Structures are given as structure tokens and as C-alpha cells.
Structure 1
Amino acid sequence: MEKILVTKPYLPPIEEYKAQIDLIYASNQLTNQGPLLQELEETLRTFLQVKYFQYVTNGTIALQLALEALGIDKGEVITTPFSYVATTSSILWQRCKPVFVDIEPKNFTIDPSKIEAAITSKTRAIMPVHVFGYACDVEKIQEIAEKYHLKVIYDAAHAFGSVYKGKSLCSYGDVATLSFHATKLFHTVEGGAVIIREKSVSQKLDLVKRFGHCGDNHFCLGINGKQSEFHAAMGLAVLPHLGEIVTARKRICELYDQELAGQIERPQMQKELIYNYAYYPVLFKDEKTLLRVFKALNNEGIYPRRYFYPSLNTLPYLDERILCPISEDICSRIACLPLYPNLREESIWRVIHILQSII
């Protein structure tokens, strides 16, 4: 029986990756901002039409570097409880306090109408998430940030390829971070990036990601957030296939939409969003139904995943419990269905039929 996972990494034709690897062997430079890394940075900066782009080791480090480069190493950061744990972890790692604001019930992003009530004299920044590649209410969030002189850091790990109002969704905020993990729409096996609005912040981040020194001159505390030539090579081999990847994922999503219409609830997105088809989240009636569906699918070798569970405001190592009833409810009954470019149509139909038999 074929094992069907929630996602599967896209692998470019091996000869195309090997052609990039041959360049590494010819240059004999494996890391430290090599030529392939610089090429990937500039290619992605141009593709996304952003000013400053920094390629780093992963999406979590990207968030930590963003906070550090903006000088946010204490105080409170307003964020969403509906995300992967790295969003919260990055705030805690910087010795800041995450302050959770509940989400909108229709598209699952942070509810801007609840942000102002969470702002205190200790608030330093807002860290929303473009969850599943759907857009946050960027206009309202920016308005609040300017009113209270706060920085906006978007966790845009899912947003590569999404376009809002004619601009890359990753271009909003003071900073936006990306994940290029193997399971993402565009990947470099492991990797991440930081998109930055101001030159001075980009310069500081570049310094911090390289141990805080240039040559023998040490300027500040830093870490190793550099990425290797081999990871950049994968990115350069994958990027030319992005169009076909998105097209294949869109086709699968449209089949799910067609066959499951009216049977399951789906997130709503803004009319002005061009979606990247990064995920296919579905909302079940209750947790009991979700668990029945999982059991039936698992019995057939099909493994969806509970994105996202649990609601991050309930993490056991937090000092304070902030109630977020909408997030807690949605986390208990949401899942993502299998979605990747070479998912066979007969496998998609198996997923659909099992869902329909239970729902």
C-alpha cells in the first residue's frame, strides 16, 4: 500500500542539481557567502521585488535574527496562538514575552480588532503570521503599529509566492521572514530568509548572522546563521520549476474544492490575494469527527496532519495562560490534507471518498 503523507519535498531533475554542485566543486567554496548563495539571494530578491534580502539557515533563526536586528531583546511581543511553535519559540529565545491575541474565525490570522487591548508600555513589536499563505489584515496592523510606534515582523513562512494587492505578501511589515524547509512550496532542503525594509537593519542582521564580526573587527554579539553553497544550489535548481509546482498544487486543491464543497469548512481569503496553494486546510465539525477521519485515513496509509495543534497559548512552559477561545477551538478540529505536486489522482480520490464516507 502506497504511503501518502501530508506533503512530500519537491526534487528537481538530478542533472540540474548536479550542474550546480559541479560549480561548487570548481570554486571549492562551500560556505561563507559563496557565489551560489549570492546568486540565490539576488535572484530571490528580484523575484519578490524587495529591497533587502538575507538568506539564512532556517525559518526559526530568521525570526530570532529579525528580533535581534530590530533591537528587540526584552519586553513584550504581540503574536498569534495559531502557528507553528517556532513563532513563539523565537520570542522566548530572545528573552521576550509573547502576548497572544486571538484569531479571526474565518481566515485564522491574528484579529487586528483585538490587538490594541493587548498593548502595554512594555510592548515592542507585533509578530503576526500569514498562516497557510493567507494574508493578515496588513493595513490595519500597520495602522496600529504606527499609532503606538511598534515594529511589525511578519512570520511569512508559508507566504512565498502569495501576492496581495499586486505585491509579494512577503514585502509587508518592517521585516518578514521565510522558511525554505524541505516541505515548503519553495525549498533549499533547510533554509530561511529575512526580508527587510531598512538598509541599517539589513546591515545589522548581516553582521549578527556572521558571529558579529568582519575579519578581525568585532562589533557585536552574533551567531552562525549563514547558509551553505549546497543548500543554495538546491534553491537555484528548484526555483525554475516554481510555476509547475504551483500549477500542480492548484489542480489538486481545485479537485478537493469541487468534491468536498459544502461538506467541510475552508478558510476565507481576501479577494485581492493571489494564493500560492501552499496547504489545503479543512475545518471539521468537532474534534471527534477529526479523529474519526484520521483513523480511517491512517488505516489506508494516508497521513494528514493537525496544522496547527495545540494552540500556542496553551504551551506548558509559558509563565502565563492567556485565553484564546477561537484559536483553541479551531486548533482542536483543523487539519491539512495531502498536497504535493506528484500526488497521484487516484490517491486524491481515495482521500476524498474516505472523507465523504465519514462526514
Structure 2
Amino acid sequence: MSDKPIYVTQPFLPPLEEFIPYLEKIWENKILTNGGPFHQELERTLCEYLGVKHIALFTNATIALITALQALRITGEVITTPFSFVATSHSLLWNGIKPVFVDVDPNTLNIDPAKIEAAITPQTTAIMPVHCYGHPCDIDEIQKIADTYNLKVVYDAAHAFGVHCHCGSVLNHGDLSILSFHATKVFNTFEGGAIICPDEKTKLRIDQLKNFGHAGEISVVAPGINGKMSELNAAFGLVQLKHIDDILEKRKAIDARYRENLKAVSGIHCLDGSGEKVANFAYFPILVKSEFPIERDQLNEALKERGIFPRRYFYPLISEFSMYRSLPSSSPGNLPCATQATKQVLCLPIYPDLDLKTVDEICAIISSQ
């Protein structure tokens, strides 16, 4: 085992010498923000790589989520999942929208479409699902419900960079999809995010909203925010993109090694995908079930004692935080599968520089309990 702590993730950093020419160009042209040349180039390059029509870069995914809701003029109530990072539902509160939580599918931990219709009220205007761990939601069924009730669909696709479902990029589904380029993600720009836009008109509105609502030098058309990605972050993204295929191959190998090592361990369930055609192996979640000799939190501590630091993604549920706990939809009785999952889930370390020997050692610790 390494003398250094092994954390659940570690950002990929390309060779510094690859980044320096971009820094020199920034120093030369003195364009630091406001849609500079690297910003524009990264938008074009990401569209090509991801197979999407339009993309609007942001300083982070949380601001992108907030702006996406504003762009679609969503109000009232939005149906969403409690099994996610808190930024998902925080974006609703920031817009004065009431989150309505529904349960997750026990096999994928994505929002369960079968629970959505019963939660729809006259105040419901949208559904905000999450492609949890990068595994696609049941996009066809969700869209069918949205069409029936005239609802918008905003996908929190923070985990889903490069993921393809049965018909191509999963990012092309819903009215808008939001990506995260945070340091912990498969593709990072230090900090960053993006909104996938279906057409030029929508992208124009979003670009205005992320720039204070400016529609020209002396015209402001909406109460926008400052959500622009800097040239520094965009330049770093361009360097990162050159390595993304290698990054994904290394993640795939780590995922396969975990599955091989843990397949015979009673009480440890490695969460499967949801039928994606192209996966990104963003996380490696296991469920510690009752057949395992010790509980999830005990296993978590046992790994920490050996210098391994997994994470209980996601624990607790969003619905258990103080600002959401009083909502009727937050009742544990309304969320049995999510409540069980949050007590069992443990995400094991996975990142490109994690060697397979360390993966074997992590699995040996789990097997020895």
C-alpha cells in the first residue's frame, strides 16, 4: 500500500509543459475572460467531442444549473431526486422553486419514473433528474411523462461527460443538460461547467444570462449573473481534452479490476450501469448489504485506518438536510429505496493514476472483513 493517503478521487493533471504555451498566449493577448479565443475554441471542440449542437461554458455547474432554470423560466414546483449532491436542489431554492422529492430505482439509484406521475400537481412545471454516477436515467419514460403533462426536463448531467445512451450522447435529452468540470470530475477545467443547448436561440439567451443579462453594450434584458468561464480554465480544458480518451481507458481498467476482485464477496454489490452504450466510469459505488459481516460505516472506518478514503456518495440524502427536511416529500416513508441506498453506498477510489496493485489491496481489505 502507498505511504500516501488514497482518496476517492484525484484530479488528472496533464504535463505542465503542455499547459505553458497556453499561458504564454494569454499573457501575450491579455484576454482573461468575456468569451476569449480559448473559451470559443473549447466550446467548438467540446461540441465535436461530445456530439452536441451547442454548448455554453460556465464558471461552475451550480451557476449553470441556476441559469438553466432561469433560461426556461421555470417556477412553482420541480420534481427531483434526493439522491444527489446538494447543488441539484440548491439550484431550485436559489430560483424560489419548491423541490418535490421522489424515490429512486433500487437498481440504478436514478430517479424512478414510476414515482413521478403521482407527485405532479398543478404547480409542477419541470422534472430535474440526475444521471447518477454517469449512468443514464430512463430518458424515454421521463420524456413521455413530461410530454403528457407539458413539463420541462432539465438534466443534472454533472457525472455524465462523454456518456452515450441507446441513441447517442445522453446530453442531447431533455430541454437542457448541465455538465460539471469540477476538479473531481472525469473531465475538469479546475472549476467549470456547461449547459448543453439544443439551438442557437437558447444558447444566445443563456450566454446573456451568464453575463449579467447583457444583450449589447448598453442593453440589459434580464437579471443575469456572472457565470462566465475564464480563459485560464478554458485553456486548461483544451489541454485536458487531448488526454480524455486515455483517461477513460484507465478508468475502465480500474472498474473492471474492482468487479473481478469483488464479484465473489458476499454482501458487496457493485452497482451496474443502466444500459449505456458508452460509459465514463466516473465513480465506483458499491452497496454494503446485510450479508456482509460489518456495516457500511464500519467498512468505511476500516479502510480509513489503512489510509484508504472512500466516500459515502450520497449520504445523507438531500431531503435530510435542515432546509429540506420539513417538505412533505422529504419523509423517509416516501423515499424507501433512496433511504436504504444512502445507508449502504460507498464509493471506492477511482482515478487515472490509481494503479491496479492498489485496487487489489483495497479489495483485499474489503474481502478480509
> TM-score when scaled to structure 2?
0.94
Within 5 Å, which residues of 2 pair with 1:150-165? 150-165=151-166
Q: Corresponding residue for 1:282?
A: 286
Q: What is aligned with 1:128? A: 129
Q: Distance in 1 between matches of 2:240 and 2:256?
A: 24
- State the match for 2:173 in structure 1: 172
Q: Superposed, which structure 2 residues align to 1:209-220 within 5 Å?
A: 209-213=210-214, 214-220=216-222
Q: Identify unmatched segments of 5+ residues in structure 2.
A: none
User: How many Å apart are 1:345 and its aligned residue?
Assistant: 2.5
Q: Which segments of 5 or more consecutive residues in structure 1 lack a partner in the other structure?
A: none
The one-letter code matched in structure 2 to 1:308 is: F
Q: Which of 301, 311, 320 is equivalent to 2:307?
A: 301
Give, in angstroms, the shift of residue 171 of structure 1: 1.4
Q: 1:84 to 1:272 in 2, by over 3 A?
A: closer
Instruction: Identify if the C-alpha distance between structure 1 residues 106 and 296 changes in structure 2 by more than 3 Å, giving closer, same or farther.
Output: same
Match of 2:139 in 1: 138
Q: How many residues were matched structurally? A: 357
Structure 2 Cα separation of the partners of residues 199 and 161 of structure 1:
22
Superposition deviation, residue 313 in structure 1? 1.7
Instruction: List aligned pairs for 1:1-359, cutoff 5 A.
Output: 1-72=3-74, 74-213=75-214, 214-263=216-265, 264-286=268-290, 289-318=295-324, 319-322=326-329, 323-358=334-369
Per mean C-alpha deviation after superposition, the further-off stretch among 284-293 and 246-255 is 284-293
Q: CA deviation at 1:188?
A: 0.2
TM-score normalised by structure 1 residue count: 0.97
Paired amino acid for 2:297: L
Q: 3-state DSSP class of the match of 2:243?
A: helix
Cα distance in 1 for residues equivalent to 2:200 and 2:217: 21
Task: Report deviation, 1:199.
Answer: 3.2
CA distance in 1, matches of 2:277, 2:136: 7
Supply the distance in 1 between the matched residues of 2:185 and 2:61 (Cα, whole angstroms): 11
Over the aligned positions, Cα root-mean-square deviation in angstroms equals 1.3
Write out the 4+ residue segments of structure 1 that deviate beyond 3 Å after TM superposition.
Answer: none
Whole-Å separation in 2 of the counterparts to 1:266 and 1:258: 10
| Counterpart Cα distance in 2 of 1:270 and 1:90 | 26
Query: CA contact under 8 A between 1:69 and 1:202: conserved in structure 2?
Result: no
Cα distance in 1 for partners of 2:136, 2:224 equals 32
Question: How far apart, CA to CA, are the structure 2 residues paired with 1:303 and 1:195?
Answer: 33
* 1:273, distance to aligned residue in structure 2 (A): 2.8
3-state DSSP class of the match of 2:154? strand
Paired residues of 2:43 and 2:55 also in contact (CA < 8 A): yes
Query: Distance in 2 between the 1:260 and 1:32 partners?
Result: 49
* C-alpha separation in 1, matches of 2:60 and 2:363: 34
Aligned-residue identity in percent: 45
Question: 1:47-86 CA distances to partner (integer Å, 9 max, x unpaired)?
Answer: 11212210001111111010000011x3000001111000
Secondary structure at 2:122 match in 1: coil
Check conservation: 1:79, 1:110, Cα contact below 8 A: yes
Q: Aligned to 1:238, what secondary structure does the other structure show?
A: helix
User: Residue 351 of structure 1 aligns to which amino acid in structure 2?
Assistant: I
Q: 1:135, 1:273 within 8 Å by CA — same for their partners in 2?
A: no
How big is the shift at 1:201?
2.4
Contact 2:101 2:319 survives alignment (8 Å):
yes
Contact 2:261 2:360 (C-alpha < 8 Å) held by counterparts: no
Offset of residue 268 of structure 1: 3.0
Give, in angstroms, the shift of residue 267 of structure 1: 2.3
Q: What is the CA distance between 1:275 and its match in structure 2? A: 1.0
Shift of 1:166: 4.0
Cα distance in 2 for residues equivalent to 1:349 and 1:107: 25
